[in-house]
Every structure is written in C-alpha cells, then in structure tokens.
C-alpha cells in the first residue's frame, strides 16, 4: 500500500480533512468547526475516518495541518498523538513554505493564504504570476510572482455575508446558493433574488478585482479559484483559468513531498 498521510485545514467554518499519497489527494471530509471539541472527541472522529478509509494507525506516515483557529491547534495535535500515534506537523511552523514571503509583516499572513499561494504556484508553474482566490469564510485574493508571495486582498465571504444579512432580516428564506442560469435573472421571488445576487455578485466582484490586480502583476497571469463556493461561482465567472476546490489540502500534500 502507498504511504498515506492525513491532511487537515482548520478553518473558521469547517475542518477540511483529506487522506493523500505522494501521487494524489484521495477522499476528503468536512467537520463543522465549533468550540466544544476536546482532543478526545476530535480524535475519535479522526480515528473513525481512518477506519472508513480501511487504514490502521500503522498505515499512516504523518499528519499535517494548517490553521487559522489557534484554539484548535493544541486540540488537533493532542488528538493525533493519542488516537493516531503521530505528532501533527503544522504549516508553516514545522513545514516551511516554498515561497519568499514579501508581506510587510510575514507572520501576519494566514497560513491558509500562504499555503493556497504555494499550492497554486506548484500546480501551475508556467505563468509568470498567479492570483489565488479562496471563497471561504472570507474571500481572499493572494498574488504570486515567480516564487514570491506578494500579498493580496481580504473581502467578505459568501456564507458570512449571507449570515450577516439574515441576522438583520427576519423574513429571508433559506436558499441553496446555487444557480442553473449563466446570466443573473431579474428575480421575481426572494429566493431567486438572493441566489442570483450572491452567486453573480461574488463572481463579478472576483472578476473585477482580479482584473485590477492583473494590471499590477508581470504577465502572463492566471487565476486559480478554491473554497466551498468556488465550484458554483466558477460556472458564471468569465476569465477563470483553474478550479481547484481542495487547493489548501493539495498544498499540504505538496509541502510534505517537498519536505521529505
């Protein structure tokens, strides 16, 4: 059996988990991020997913994670140590990024942003510059030129924006945040108005900001989209070059290969 590693992206909304080999990222899973996790409860979930994969602890070579939720870091490390018998390695503390970090204060860059930029650069080495767009809790734009991380933009996220709107509006219906059309319809009901407003609105925002960022980067420039809503937004986004929903987990896999 090929060497297996457990990869984890500890985010504000969800914990994205994946099992991978040197050759490819395999099955992925998402757990809800909440404040009630203990090392035992999270560890039991990790062990259950390991068994779901038909693997034992001895089949697992390593555990790697990146995190933007500091209170989960120790819990995840304790869970891996107790239930999987592995010391979890954290990006970029234990596994260094393969990019020069040109942020004014490099430590301020979220691990997920840096990792997405590294993954985009590694997966798509040909263009001079890349813009990685992550539709997560926030919508982030991260720019890479050659092997240098330059920085980017942070904007509201799709789901967080919807929740903020719903918190101040009593009568909004539950919506799917999916559209079938390739143009925004003039909504004749609230659900259509919301679905099309959010999907086409965020696509237009991303497309417009990427065009402005492209003007400041040496070309050619390609755009990579990732995150929970990337697949739906990609359907209506003109000019997107690559869709990689699991870009951050891919980045962890690639960083592990580079470190080996």
CB-based burial label for 155 (10 Å; 0-12, 13-18, 19+):
middle
259 is a domain residue: no
Mean pLDDT of 232-248: 91
The per-residue pLDDT for 153 is 97
164 is a domain residue: yes
The per-residue pLDDT for 169 is 66
Give the residue from 90, 110, 136 where a domain finishes: 90
The per-residue pLDDT for 168 is 63
Same domain membership, residue 67 and residue 124:
no
Strand partners, 138: 156
Mean pLDDT of 49-73: 92
Cα dist. 124→131, 164, 219 in Å? 11, 35, 14
pLDDT tens-place string over residues 170-224: 566 676 777 777 888 898 888 888 888 888 999 999 999 999 999 999 999 999 9
Give the residue from 46, 61, 90 where a domain finishes: 90
CA distance linking residue 52 with residue 46, whole number of Å: 10
The per-residue pLDDT for 72 is 92
Same domain membership, residue 137 and residue 210:
yes
The per-residue pLDDT for 76 is 96
Question: H helices of 88-217, where?
Answer: 111-123, 158-167, 190-214
Residues comprising the chain, all counted:
260
Same domain membership, residue 52 and residue 23:
yes
Mean pLDDT of 69-96: 93
Task: Kindly name the residue from 40, 59, 112, 134 that is annotated as catalytic.
Answer: 112
Same domain membership, residue 180 and residue 207:
yes
Domain at 86, CATH number: 3.30.420.40
257 is a domain residue: no
Which residue segment(s) compose the domain that 124 sits in?
100-246
The per-residue pLDDT for 29 is 93
The per-residue pLDDT for 182 is 81
Provide the pLDDT confidence category of residue 162 given band limits of 50, 70 and 90. Answer: confident
CA distance linking residue 175 with residue 30, whole number of Å: 21
Give the residue from 69, 90, 111 where a domain finishes: 90
The per-residue pLDDT for 170 is 59
Higher-scoring residue by pLDDT: 155, 2: 155
Same domain membership, residue 118 and residue 30:
no
What is the DSSP secondary structure assignment for residue 176, as one 8-state letter?
-
The per-residue pLDDT for 228 is 83
What is the DSSP secondary structure assignment for residue 80, as one 8-state letter?
I
Is 232 designated active site? no
Same domain membership, residue 165 and residue 138:
yes
258 is a domain residue: no
64 is a domain residue: yes
The per-residue pLDDT for 193 is 86
Same domain membership, residue 193 and residue 131:
yes
77, 83, 87, 91 alpha-carbon torsion, rounded to 10°:
-50
The per-residue pLDDT for 194 is 85
pTM exceeding the 0.75 threshold for the entire prediction: yes
Same domain membership, residue 106 and residue 69:
no
Q: What is the mean pLDDT of the chain?
A: 90
260 is a domain residue: no
252 is a domain residue: no
If one counts the domains in the chain, the total is 2
The per-residue pLDDT for 1 is 58
Mean pLDDT of 76-91: 95
Same domain membership, residue 135 and residue 22:
no
The per-residue pLDDT for 223 is 97
Same domain membership, residue 167 and residue 130:
yes
Same domain membership, residue 228 and residue 111:
yes
205 is a domain residue: yes
Residue 107 has pLDDT above 70, yes or no: yes
Same domain membership, residue 218 and residue 139:
yes
Nearest to 26 by CA among 7, 47, 46, 1: 7
């Amino acid at each position: 059996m090929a060497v297996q590693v457990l990869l984890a992206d500890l985010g504000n909304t969800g914990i994205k988990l994946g099992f991978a080999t040197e050759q490819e990222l395999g099955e992925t899973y998402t757990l809800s991020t909440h404040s009630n996790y203990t090392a035992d409860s999270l560890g039991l979930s990790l062990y259950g997913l390991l068994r779901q994969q038909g693997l034992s602890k001895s089949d697992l070579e390593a555990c790697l994670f990146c995190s933007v939720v500091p209170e989960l870091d120790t819990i995840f490390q304790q869970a891996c140590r107790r239930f999987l018998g592995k010391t979890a390695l954290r990006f970029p503390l234990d596994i260094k990024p393969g990019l020069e970090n040109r942020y004014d204060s490099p430590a301020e860059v979220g691990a997920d942003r840096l990792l997405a930029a590294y993954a985009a650069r590694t997966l798509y080495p040909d263009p001079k510059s890349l813009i990685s767009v992550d539709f997560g809790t926030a919508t982030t734009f991260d720019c890479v030129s050659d092997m240098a991380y330059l920085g980017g933009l942070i904007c509201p996220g799709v789901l967080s924006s919807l929740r903020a709107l719903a918190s101040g509006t009593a009568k909004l219906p539950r919506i799917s945040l999916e559209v079938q059309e390739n143009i925004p319809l003039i909504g004749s009901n609230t659900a259509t108005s919301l679905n099309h407003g959010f999907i086409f609105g965020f696509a237009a925002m991303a497309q417009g900001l990427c065009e402005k960022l492209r003007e400041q980067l040496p070309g050619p420039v390609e755009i990579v989209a990732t995150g929970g809503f990337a697949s739906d937004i990609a359907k209506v986004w003109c000019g997107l070059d690559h869709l990689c929903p699991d870009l951050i987990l891919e980045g962890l896999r690639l960083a592990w290969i580079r470190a080996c």
